[in-house]
Chains A and B, each alone.
Chain A
Amino acid sequence: MNIMTEQSLENAVGDKMNAKSNEVIKMRGDKVGVFYGDKQALFDVNLDVRLNQVTALIGPSGCGKSTFLRCLNRMNDTIDSARVTGKITLDEEDIYDKNIDVVELRARVGMVFQKPNPFPKSIYENVAYGPRIHGLAKRKADMDQIVESSLKKAAIWNEVKDRLQEPGTGLSGGQQQRLCIARAIAVSPEVILMDEPCSALDPIATARVEELIDELRQNYTIVIVTHSMQQAARVSQRTAMFHLGYLVEEGATDKMFTNPDDKRTQDYITGRFG
């Protein structure tokens, strides 16, 4: 499964992370297009997501980066008018294939949303919900174990361990977002999609979530949509720049931020538009 495209090899040269030999393509978008009704929101996007790396999607508002992200776990299915063309693979399997169950896909490709959205239930229940519906824990002790390790991985365990039965909605915004990350981790997904996870957080909470993302990379593959150039530069290994529904440029983050090929990327990163 160790597929390396020419392009990825080429990019790997400029990537300071290239010491890692894990340039494995976890997910791949092939000529992905999305229509909302008659309006096309995304055009022919070819983008690879590499295993155990953070891929940042950047671009001005309305450029299609969130749309692309939502294709990766078929959240666009929930919009009646949305239609996806092209092909997206997860471990070389077409996720839009008839044989793929969308519920199973979402258990493999988890998602963290822009606005922290804990369920109005206890902290424990928030984390336990996913494993419970997927039958991942047979006994209460197993569930406790999953909850604890998920909260630990999400770096929020110490803050909430004494109040697991309190409502998750009572936490601060940053804590809520980490709880949502813990909730996503609890299902043991392979890929975690994050849609501007820090946009509703203050700088301190943002820093904590960013640290967390960096830690999570060891075990998960992460795709993150962000409006913050600095955030993309800080947390990601690869960056993809979207504009008006097209993928403008994709490459190692270092290169994208220092020497982009496309003028639009250059302009966007330096703040000339966006």
Chain B
Amino acid sequence: MTDIPMDTMVRAAAHPRRDIGLKARYAAERRFRIYGGLAISVGLAFLAIMLITIVSKGYTAFWQTTVTLPINFDAKMIDPSNKRATDPSVLIKANYPKLAESALIAKLGIDPSNKPMVMKLKGFLSEGARVQLRDIVAADPSVIGTTRDVNILAAANLDSAFKGQIDLSVEEARRKVSDQQIAWMNKLKADGVMAEHFNTGLFSYGASSRPETSGMGVAIIGSFYMMVIVLLLALPIGVAASIYLEEFAKKNRLTDLIEVNINNLAAVPSIVFGLLGLAVFINFLGMPRSAAFVGGLVLTLMTLPTIIIATRAALAAVPPSIRSAALGLGASKMQMVFHHILPLAAPGILTGTIIGLARALGETAPLLLIGMVAFVADYPTTPFDPATALPVQIYMWANEAERAFVERMSGAIIILLVFLMAMNITAIVLRRRFERRW
């Protein structure tokens, strides 16, 4: 290039600017961003309100007030006529609450003959003390005649009072704890006898009319059985159906119809599946009511469409080049699917399955219809025994009036949410980790 002085070069005249509506376009974009931000913040705000409410109401459910008392397993009280060698039922029927009461009377220094004072102690300790002490004796009869420290559950109202949930400014007659009981409570607290412990009972107890001895043990087992049944049935059936539809079935009217119907099934309200389960499994096939097995079958029906849709999407996402490569080498269709397509689709299938399971775990309506909303105090040993489920337990506690039940309900919601979050996070992690790019 030779040097050409700038001034000798012909300058291009500035091209007239056109109005191409830039201002309006940018304004539209700004507005859209604001709408989006607003929509997300409203959603987040409600989520935050929900979580804060539940956690603030429910975290206390994980703590339970107990009174540590030196219980004297007095042979005269438990077995006055000394028949326990011949009649073991004596140990079952013994008046255990009396043992706890006497220990408490001694601890508080009340004169046992002062009947009015003793009467005021009523409702201080949980009726659950009977089971607590009976289980100790049943496990080890040699404890009779000795004294041992036991953490006796405080009654629900005292538990609430101890946690500061009862408004003491209300006049005495209108609250559930008397001034005398409050005074005793403070004394025991000062002595370090009455204290809060982690509430293992929330996870282990079954249904009970007393909040302090009710827990989600049965519901957790019931939900666990159902998840296992759903996994064992829905995953293989769903994956097999998807493979057939996606890889083997001819694309024609019939398969189109099946596809439309699967998509429709995924949108069917869950209560309809409950009715179906009631009609088919219980009324027609005569399966037991309230059983986790039937619940699992109903949830399987409900989860199948979700799994099929997710699996088909995962199979379809495997690039055709992999199929061609396998077929071009002389792999049979079956070998192509099982050696190449399925392993590549597995993360997607797993993700879909976990999301389907999470949905099934939180499902309540169909379980109500097949009778899983029941008062079940004992652990179900098989899936055919009566059981409840986590969301149903929440529903049942929500129907209780007592404040301690409301607390437990919120605690149960926290537990259910933790399960669901764990499952969804697993799904996300799986998807991230095994995501492939071709």
Q: Chain A: residues with CB nearer than 8 A to chain B? A: 73, 75, 78, 80, 103-107, 110-113, 115, 117-120, 129-130, 133-134, 169, 180, 183-184, 187
Q: Which of B322, B330, B340 is in CB contact (< 8 Å) with A130? A: B330
Q: Which of B251, B321, B330, B436 is in CB contact (< 8 Å) with A117? A: B321
Q: Give residues 338-385 of B contacting A (CB, 8 Å).
A: 339-340, 344
- The answer to whether A75 and B324 touch across the interface, beta carbons within 8 angstroms, is yes
Q: Which of A104, A106, A115, A133 is in CB contact (< 8 Å) with B328? A: A106
Write 5 A-B pairs (CB below 8 A) sorted by A numbering: A75-B327, A113-B325, A117-B321, A119-B326, A133-B332
User: Which residues on B sit within 8 Å (CB–CB) of A133?
Assistant: 329-332, 335, 339
Q: Which of A106, A107, A112, A117 is in CB contact (< 8 Å) with B322? A: A117
B431 near A: Cβ within 8 Å? no
B210 near A: Cβ within 8 Å? no
Quick one: CB contact mask for B274-297 with A, threshold 8 Å, 1 for yes? 000000000000000000000000
- The answer to whether A113 and B324 touch across the interface, beta carbons within 8 angstroms, is yes
Tell whether A106 pairs with B327 under 8 Å between CB atoms, given A120-B344, A120-B436, A129-B339: yes
User: Which residues on A sit within 8 Å (CB–CB) of B331?
Assistant: 103, 129-130, 133
- The answer to whether B250 and A80 touch across the interface, beta carbons within 8 angstroms, is yes
Q: Known pairs A117-B322, A187-B329. 19 more at Cβ < 8 A?
A: A75-B327, A75-B328, A78-B323, A78-B327, A80-B250, A104-B330, A106-B327, A106-B328, A106-B329, A110-B330, A111-B324, A111-B328, A113-B324, A119-B325, A119-B326, A129-B339, A183-B329, A184-B328, A184-B329
Chain B interface mostly = helix
Interface size for B (C-beta < 8 A) is 21
- The answer to whether B251 and A80 touch across the interface, beta carbons within 8 angstroms, is yes
Min CB distance B367 to A, Å, is: 42
User: Which residues on B sit within 8 Å (CB–CB) of A112?
Assistant: 328
Q: Which of A107, A110, A112, A130 has the most CB of B within 10 A?
A: A130
Q: Which of A73, A105, A117, A134 is in CB contact (< 8 Å) with B325? A: A117
Quick one: CB contact mask for B309-339 with A, threshold 8 Å, 1 for yes? 0000000000101111111111110010001
Min CB distance B22 to A, Å, is: 40
Min CB distance A96 to B, Å, is: 16
User: Which residues on B sit within 8 Å (CB–CB) of A80?
Assistant: 250-251
- The answer to whether B329 and A110 touch across the interface, beta carbons within 8 angstroms, is yes
Q: Chain B: residues with CB nearer than 8 A to chain A? A: 250-251, 319, 321-332, 335, 339-340, 344, 436, 438
User: Which residues on B sit within 8 Å (CB–CB) of A130?
Assistant: 329-331
| Bound form: Cα–Cα A75–B329 in Å | 11
Min CB distance A244 to B, Å, is: 25
- The answer to whether A187 and B330 touch across the interface, beta carbons within 8 angstroms, is yes
Chain B residue with Cβ nearest A169: B438
Chain B residue with Cβ nearest A183: B329
| Bound form: Cα–Cα A21–B235 in Å | 60
| Bound form: Cα–Cα A274–B382 in Å | 73
| Bound form: Cα–Cα A5–B343 in Å | 49
Chain A residue with Cβ nearest B437: A169
Chain A residue with Cβ nearest B250: A80
- The answer to whether A117 and B324 touch across the interface, beta carbons within 8 angstroms, is yes
User: Which residues on A sit within 8 Å (CB–CB) of B326?
Assistant: 119, 129
Min CB distance A194 to B, Å, is: 11
User: Which residues on B sit within 8 Å (CB–CB) of A104?
Assistant: 330
| Bound form: Cα–Cα A73–B328 in Å | 8
Q: Which of A75, A115, A184 is in CB contact (< 8 Å) with B321? A: A115
Q: Which of B323, B328, B335, B340 has the most CB of A within 10 A?
A: B328
User: Which residues on B sit within 8 Å (CB–CB) of A103?
Assistant: 330-332
| Bound form: Cα–Cα A227–B319 in Å | 24
Q: Which 3 A-B pairs have the closest CB atoms?
A: A117-B321, A107-B330, A111-B328
Q: Which of A112, A119, A130, A184 has the most CB of B within 10 A?
A: A119
- The answer to whether A110 and B328 touch across the interface, beta carbons within 8 angstroms, is yes
User: Which residues on B sit within 8 Å (CB–CB) of A187?
Assistant: 329-330
Chain A residue with Cβ nearest B323: A78
User: Which residues on A sit within 8 Å (CB–CB) of B344?
Assistant: 120
Min CB distance A106 to B, Å, is: 4
Q: Which of A113, A115, A120, A134 is in CB contact (< 8 Å) with B330? A: A134
- The answer to whether A119 and B330 touch across the interface, beta carbons within 8 angstroms, is no
| Bound form: Cα–Cα A105–B325 in Å | 15
Q: Which of B250, B325, B331, B332 has the most CB of A within 10 A?
A: B325
| Bound form: Cα–Cα A89–B357 in Å | 53
Q: Which of B319, B324, B329, B436 has the most CB of A within 10 A?
A: B329
| Bound form: Cα–Cα A80–B251 in Å | 7
User: Which residues on A sit within 8 Å (CB–CB) of B328?
Assistant: 73, 75, 106, 110-113, 184
User: Which residues on A sit within 8 Å (CB–CB) of B340?
Assistant: 119
- The answer to whether A180 and B325 touch across the interface, beta carbons within 8 angstroms, is yes
- The answer to whether B330 and A106 touch across the interface, beta carbons within 8 angstroms, is yes
Min CB distance B318 to A, Å, is: 10
Min CB distance A87 to B, Å, is: 22
Min CB distance B124 to A, Å, is: 68
| Bound form: Cα–Cα A104–B323 in Å | 17
| Bound form: Cα–Cα A110–B330 in Å | 8
